[in-house]
Structure 1
Amino acid sequence: MLKLSTTLTGHQNPIYALAKAEDPNRFYSAGNDKGVVEWSLHDMAFIKVILPVQSSVYALHRIGNLLFVGQRSGAILVFDLEANKLITSLSFHEKGVFDLKSIVSKNELLSTGEDGTVAVWSLADFSLLYHFPVLKNTIRVIAISNDEKEIALGAKDGLIRIYNAEDFTLLNELDSHTMPVTSIQYDPTGNYMISGSRDAQLKVWNLPDYSLANTIPAHLFSIYSIAFHPVLPYFATCSQDKSIKVWSSNDFKLYKILSNDKGVEGHFHSINKMIWSEDGKYLISTGDDRQIKIWEFS
């Protein structure tokens, strides 16, 4: 199902963020060192440092030719990939920015992080449109529903809060995780939402009512990323326990464990982020071991 194709090295410190490039054969990475790096999937090689940074990067998000870079300082850099230049820096958050997501239908960018607030930015002129407090602690993750009508926020208090994407009113609070929520994804079919937490459990929530459908003891420690395959009915999870697991997105059957403990040459520290290549041929993972691993799917 998945086998290790290549290990890419070059980062000097833990890596926290990955993003796809407009070219499906390229992607970006960043973390606790001095730059955002561009890589080639075609050549399985380093291309260049596209942007130097002065603060650790916790989040990357690309929209068209724009790459948004969320930093520990609270600043969000906006980099034009075509012009190869920094356009502006968005300033609102006073602490680290942990996630960035866009609502394409509204031409808006959402940002959140350690200050417990959500900021809404115009993608037309990068002005701050709105902001609202959620809690006094960290919001770790944002997920946007497939129809872009609802927003899910995973927070340090263990709650998942569902907001209306039109006016940002609070619709629901999901209270089942016993520790901070660290990952959320909506199923591509629109049937459910899945969340992961420091409690090492996956929770499956029925849509549209968000009733709890399933609890899966998936990992030993925090689940930091959930990534659905772009075409086939599978999703991957990764964890602080240094493992990647591949599941059926239909019946949640566990198909594969990628871990040194299982005799697979995997990561040897916490795995912080994963993305699939656009065609679903590769799963890209990275973490505290400063390595990027490319797993070939077959």
Structure 2
Amino acid sequence: MITHLHTLGGHQNPIYALANAAKENTFYSAGNDKGVVEWSLQTMSFVKVLVPVQSSVYALHRYNDLLFIAQRSGLILVFDLKLEKNLATLSHHQKAVFDIRTIAGKNELLSTGEDGTLAVWSLADFSLLYHFPVIQNTVRVIAVNNTETEIALGCKDGLIRVYSSEDYSLIKELRGHTLPITSLQYSPDGQYLISGGRDAQLKIWALPDYELINQVAAHMFSVYAIAFHPAAPYFATCSQDKSIKLWDSKNFKLYKILSLEKNTQGHFHSINKLIWSSNGRYLISTGDDRQVMIWTLNL
């Protein structure tokens, strides 16, 4: 069903971030190295160092022809992929930025991280529109629902805080995890929000009321990423426990474990990030072992 296709080497340090490019079969990776790297899925090879960075990169987010690069320093670089140059440096966060998302309908960029604040930026001129404290310490992850009306923030205190994207007022606090939230995604069909934490649990919250309807003891350690397939009814998770798991997105049945311990190909250290390629043919994973692994899904 899902098999290892290729391993891409070249990074010298742990990798934390992945993003698909606008052009098909191209993606980007970044981490503790001093640059964002472009890769080709067509040739399964390194293309180039896209842009140098001054500090570790914890998140990448592409919106149209812009690549937003969130750094440990608290700065966010705005890189124009067509012009291949930096357009702006966004400076607000006093500590590391852990996640960035866009709300296309409002032409806004959201950022958050170790300082516990959410910042809202204009995509028109990259000015800071608004910011507010969420908690006293880290907000790890942002998820935006399908209609862009609500955003969910995964926080270090184990709570998920849901806000209205219209005025950024707090709607709900979801209590279910016993340890910090480390991953968060709305399902593509708009039926639920799924969260993962340092407690190694997945929690499924039914929409629109965010009722906790299911919980799964998914991994041995922190769940670092959740990625829904763009078309098929599957999602993948990865963990500090060095495994990738493929799940049914309707009934949450476990289909496949990709792990050296299960005698498959796999990472030999914490897996920090995974994404599906934009066409859904490939699953891309990476982590502390400095490897980028490409997996192919045979439906």
Q: How does 1:137-176 map to 2 (within 5 A)?
A: 137-176=137-176
**CA offset digits 1:153-184 (Å, max 9, x no partner):** 00000000000000000000001100000000
Partner of 1:204: 204
Partner of 1:59: 59
What is the CA RMSD across the aligned residues, in angstroms? 0.4
Are positions 1:103 and 2:103 aligned together? Answer: yes
Quote how far apart the aligned CAs of 1:286 are.
Answer: 0.3
Partner of 2:242: 242
The SS at the match of 2:92 is coil
Q: How does 1:21-40 map to 2 (within 5 A)?
A: 21-40=21-40
Quote how far apart the aligned CAs of 1:199 are.
Answer: 0.1
Partner of 1:19: 19
The SS at the match of 2:160 is strand
Partner of 2:190: 190
**CA offset digits 1:11-50 (Å, max 9, x no partner):** 1000000000001210000000110000000000000001
Quote how far apart the aligned CAs of 1:213 are.
Answer: 0.3
TM-score (normalised: structure 1) = 1.00
Divergent runs of 4+, >6 A: none
Quote how far apart the aligned CAs of 1:88 are.
Answer: 1.2
Are positions 1:90 and 2:55 aligned together? Answer: no
Quote how far apart the aligned CAs of 1:212 are.
Answer: 0.3
Partner of 1:294: 294
TM-score (normalised: structure 2) = 0.99
**CA offset digits 1:113-161 (Å, max 9, x no partner):** 0000000000000000000100011000000000000000000000000
User: Counterpart amino acid of 1:277?
Assistant: S
User: Counterpart amino acid of 2:141?
Assistant: V
Q: Which runs of 5+ in 2 are unaligned?
A: none
Quote how far apart the aligned CAs of 1:190 are.
Answer: 0.7
Counterpart-to-counterpart distance in 1, 2:166 and 2:11? 39
User: Counterpart amino acid of 2:53?
Assistant: V
Partner of 2:227: 227
The SS at the match of 2:245 is strand
The SS at the match of 2:105 is helix
Counterpart-to-counterpart distance in 1, 2:149 and 2:11? 38
Counterpart-to-counterpart distance in 1, 2:233 and 2:275? 15
Quote how far apart the aligned CAs of 1:226 are.
Answer: 0.2
Question: What is the percent sequence identity of the aligned residues?
Answer: 68
Quote how far apart the aligned CAs of 1:94 are.
Answer: 0.5
**CA offset digits 1:184-220 (Å, max 9, x no partner):** 0001111111000000000000000001000100000
Quote how far apart the aligned CAs of 1:87 are.
Answer: 1.1
Q: How does 1:251-266 map to 2 (within 5 A)?
A: 251-266=251-266
Quote how far apart the aligned CAs of 1:279 are.
Answer: 1.3
